[in-house]
Structure 1
Amino acid sequence: MSYDSAAATAASPSASKIAKPLPSSERIALDDVPVNRFHIKIAGLTFGAHLTEGYAIGTIGYALTSLSQQIQLSPSEMGMIGGSTLVGIFFGSLLFGRLSDIVGRKNIFLYSFIIITLAAFGQFFAETALQLTLMRFLIGVGMGGDFSVGHTILAEFSPRKHRGTLLGSFSVIWTVGYVIANVIGLSYGESAPDAWRWLLASAGIPALIILLLRIGTPESPRWLLSKGRKVEAEAIVLKYFGPNVRLDGKIETHAHSGYSRLFQPDLIRRTLFNCLFFTCLVIPYFAIYTFLPLILKIMGLNEGFGTDFMLNTMLVVGAVLGIWLTIKLPRRVFLIASFAVTAAALALLALLPQSATVAMILLFSAFTLTLSAVSNLVGVFPAECFPTEVRACGVGLAVAASRLGSAAGTYFLPISMATLGFSPTIFILSAILIAGMLVSIAWAPETKQLTLNQACGN
């Protein structure tokens, strides 16, 4: 059934007799409906996307080892291939975040995975470093679109009681996909000359599954309402949530739209907060874990597989713990306290002598556990902080800023290690976390108990 026919059916007298809806004042708000099968389906489609994305990013490190045996790669070409996905995410987040606010959520929700699927399979046929870089860049463009619209569409359908849990779970699923890629890459990455082709192209299998399952996803009723399409919005609410659920919200018009709207007086603090806190979290995350073997070697903790395995386990455990903390703690408290713990752990780590092995492991574990846990909030705050007409733009801009920061941090960390040394470099990362804490103290809103309209200041 099309949306127009669904809307007409919902508005017709016969439909109202069948549905027998309660008066509007007695209906349950969309923010307060119990979780149903539709919520689970939308969550599954977004979670599956993040599993695919974590897997696709995780495969490249092991594929490069096999690839270099077939194609002679210069250091710049290796860096180009390795960083192309992050660059793609930067551009994809900005482009599709804006498009999602113009043409709707469901279109980008589908098209982003068409790009990811085709580019993932396309890696198998790459013959040069430039061709592989292009495929990885396109995967990143699709991921950027999915990051901006996936968080947005799930936030706009989710009840407030479970919104933090659902949005925060992205981090867990992404980490699981990344770890699966590590296990497969470690086991099969060099099993044959063409192993890199199969390893990279294997990301296309879950991408294709998610793409097919996304066909038929309805438009966000909140987006429809923001565009003045109230009848269509109410028809979708009726179809998926029943006749006794109402859609709260109002149609607003502004002189500014798109990214310029994010920097108007009523939103600029939200915009700066989300871009800055997100960036301050991911710079240490990507910088340290991209060069984890090097850092462990400098710290004298690279003997055997034990420390590396333990820290990867901490990433997964921390991500799961973060879901529970997102439920139990106020958003502000969780974020500010995590910034303080991670900054202190890194600062102490920089001060310890190399002989303090046990203390170093404990501090590094505390840093990893806490950083992984608080990373759940990068899926929560941006989606909750912006009004419907620019929600995808706001999420997309925050994602783009974070990926630009993570790319810069990843690039400069080995340079800083070589020129300044280990301790000063770790102190710089600690200072970045302190900056994130100060930004959060000044600007982080508390959105946990609010409806989506209230959280966005509507």
Structure 2
Amino acid sequence: MTVQRIQIDDAPLNKFHLRITALTFGSNFCDGYALGIIGIALSLLGAQMHLSPVWQGLLGSSALIGLFFGSLLLGWLSDRIGRQKIYVTNFVIITIASVLQFFVNDPVTLFILRILIGLALGGDYAVGSTLLAEFAPKKYRGSLLSALNVLWTLGYTIATLVGYFLEKTGPDSWRLMLATGAIPAVIVLLLRIGTPESPRWLISMGREQEARQIVKKYIGPNIEIDDMIAESKQVTFGFKDLFTKQIRLRTIFGSLFYVCIVLPYFAIYTYLPTILKQLGYVENFLVDTLLNIFLLVGSIAGVWFTEKMTRRGFIIYSFAVLTITLFLVTVLPMSMLTFQFIAFAIFTFVMSAVSNLTLVYPAELFPTEVRSSGTGVVTAISRVGSAVGTFFLPLMSLTSSMIGMTLVLLLGTIISIAWAPETGRLTLNEASNPLHRKDSAFSEVASNILK
């Protein structure tokens, strides 16, 4: 009986694919938890340490600053030494730094620890989604990658609930809040030990036999990688190519669309209790909880949208809705709180749903040789935007900051209409090939803009 040979991009979904997805969830959950918990902790430690608005902004954006350096440097390093080593080491750093937050007595030490946590999380953004994309079959790649955002949202939501309950235990409860981040981190660390290296990366390094052994062991004995080997030999890219004519269009688009999503997302939801109070919600715990539910439901719905819609259509329509709804939240008076809440709920749902693409698009935009580097670069640039928004929001009036973020979303709409490529339902090599025929319209429009 002849065994049917199947290429890795067409492999059936198996337990290993689900396992690598679950392990990659860890960084997204921990990132969401880290962002959610700091907003509540700041309301306590701010008074205790007599923090100025500048220090509040720095501590609120500290993990995002670390994410910038981590995604940039560790993404580049991953393309040199492999995905697996960094995939495990990241969570050693997160676990230790999270525990040490319990013992801090000054904002400088806390700032450094938050930077370290962000550094490791940034590296995991670059490496985790890359490793998952390089193992996932094309049929399930979008769903598996977009599902990562569900766990980010779950982490953020759980952190909010934990923070609210721990807040009642006393003025030093912020220490326990921040230290609880070590619990999911150590679980992920232990489970990640033994994760195999990416076969695509091994092939790019000329280690084809090792790649075949991993594919046979984890994907299936009848799974072939000949097409992947042949495609990898056609064009070879290096880090500098991210900024040359062939790939720079994807680097620019990936960076800008990512910034336009995460800048308002992180700024608004880091300081959500404060924003709700300024908008006129006296009992903001209920409103905060409802919006967190919309965040969670939106992230789950986003998995379905990613699967059923084109990447290009999903991002364009989402940016348009976000621009309109955030503008309404900003301009509607307190006498129309019900309509304002409806607009805020729609904004929250769509923002959470489209954020799934921040974990799908980058992994599909770049060739294997620079996939981690490219993902790292666009993630790093996005974190500059999110850190800026998070830092300046406490220093500006609410109306000014909300109008500014509305303009950022409008820019995202324009960029997506002009530049967004379609990468769905292609093999990973086709999706990441800037010369692929389905990318020609995008390249032509973007090239004309850049001239």
User: 1:161 offset after TM fit, Å?
Assistant: 1.1
- Counterpart for residue 429 of structure 1: 405
2:195 pairs with one of 195, 217, 221: 217
Matched, 1:168 2:149: no
- Counterpart for residue 8 of structure 1: none
Q: Distance in 2 between matches of 1:368 and 1:121?
A: 32
Q: Distance in 1 between matches of 2:45 and 2:392?
A: 25
Q: Distance in 2 between matches of 1:370 and 1:209?
A: 31
Q: What TM-score, normalized to structure 2?
A: 0.90
Matched, 1:278 2:258: yes
- Counterpart for residue 386 of structure 2: 406
CA change 1:353–1:204 in 2 (3 A) is closer
1:358 pairs with one of 313, 335, 338: 338
Q: Show the 5 A alignment for 1:30-109.
A: 30-68=8-46, 71-109=49-87
Q: Secondary structure at the match of 1:380?
A: helix
User: 1:46 offset after TM fit, Å?
Assistant: 0.7
- Deviation track 1:259-282 (CA, whole Å, cap 9, x = no partner) reads x21112111111111100000011
- Deviation track 1:160-191 (CA, whole Å, cap 9, x = no partner) reads 11111111111110111111111111111341
Check whether the contact 2:125–2:376 (CA below 8 A) recurs between aligned residues.
Answer: yes
Check whether the contact 1:227–1:251 (CA below 8 A) recurs between aligned residues.
Answer: no
- Deviation track 1:367-423 (CA, whole Å, cap 9, x = no partner) reads 111111111110000001100000001111111111110111223334442xxx62x
Check whether the contact 1:279–1:405 (CA below 8 A) recurs between aligned residues.
Answer: yes
Q: Secondary structure at the match of 2:356?
A: helix
Opposite residue 128 of structure 1, the aligned amino acid is D
Check whether the contact 1:21–1:243 (CA below 8 A) recurs between aligned residues.
Answer: no
- Counterpart for residue 444 of structure 2: none
- Alignment RMSD: 2.1
- Counterpart for residue 245 of structure 1: 223
1:307 pairs with one of 281, 287, 294: 287
Check whether the contact 1:80–1:133 (CA below 8 A) recurs between aligned residues.
Answer: yes
- Counterpart for residue 124 of structure 1: 102
Higher Cα Rg: structure 1 or 2?
1
Opposite residue 427 of structure 2, the aligned amino acid is T
Q: Secondary structure at the match of 2:335?
A: coil
CA change 1:317–1:215 in 2 (3 A) is same
- Counterpart for residue 208 of structure 2: 230
Matched, 1:385 2:399: no
Check whether the contact 2:44–2:171 (CA below 8 A) recurs between aligned residues.
Answer: yes
Check whether the contact 2:63–2:115 (CA below 8 A) recurs between aligned residues.
Answer: yes
CA change 1:242–1:312 in 2 (3 A) is closer
- Deviation track 1:330-349 (CA, whole Å, cap 9, x = no partner) reads 11111100011111112333
- Counterpart for residue 337 of structure 1: 317
Q: What TM-score, normalized to structure 1?
A: 0.89
- Counterpart for residue 428 of structure 2: 452
- Counterpart for residue 443 of structure 2: none
1:287 pairs with one of 245, 267, 290: 267
- Counterpart for residue 447 of structure 2: none
Check whether the contact 2:100–2:179 (CA below 8 A) recurs between aligned residues.
Answer: yes
User: 1:125 offset after TM fit, Å?
Assistant: 2.7
Q: Distance in 2 between matches of 1:66 and 1:91?
A: 28
Check whether the contact 1:97–1:396 (CA below 8 A) recurs between aligned residues.
Answer: yes
Check whether the contact 1:228–1:251 (CA below 8 A) recurs between aligned residues.
Answer: no
User: 1:314 offset after TM fit, Å?
Assistant: 1.0
User: 1:146 offset after TM fit, Å?
Assistant: 0.6
- Counterpart for residue 130 of structure 2: 152
CA change 1:68–1:370 in 2 (3 A) is closer
CA change 1:273–1:79 in 2 (3 A) is same
Matched, 1:439 2:407: no
Opposite residue 154 of structure 1, the aligned amino acid is L
Opposite residue 305 of structure 1, the aligned amino acid is F
Q: Secondary structure at the match of 1:305?
A: helix
Check whether the contact 2:329–2:341 (CA below 8 A) recurs between aligned residues.
Answer: no
Matched, 1:111 2:92: no
Opposite residue 406 of structure 1, the aligned amino acid is S
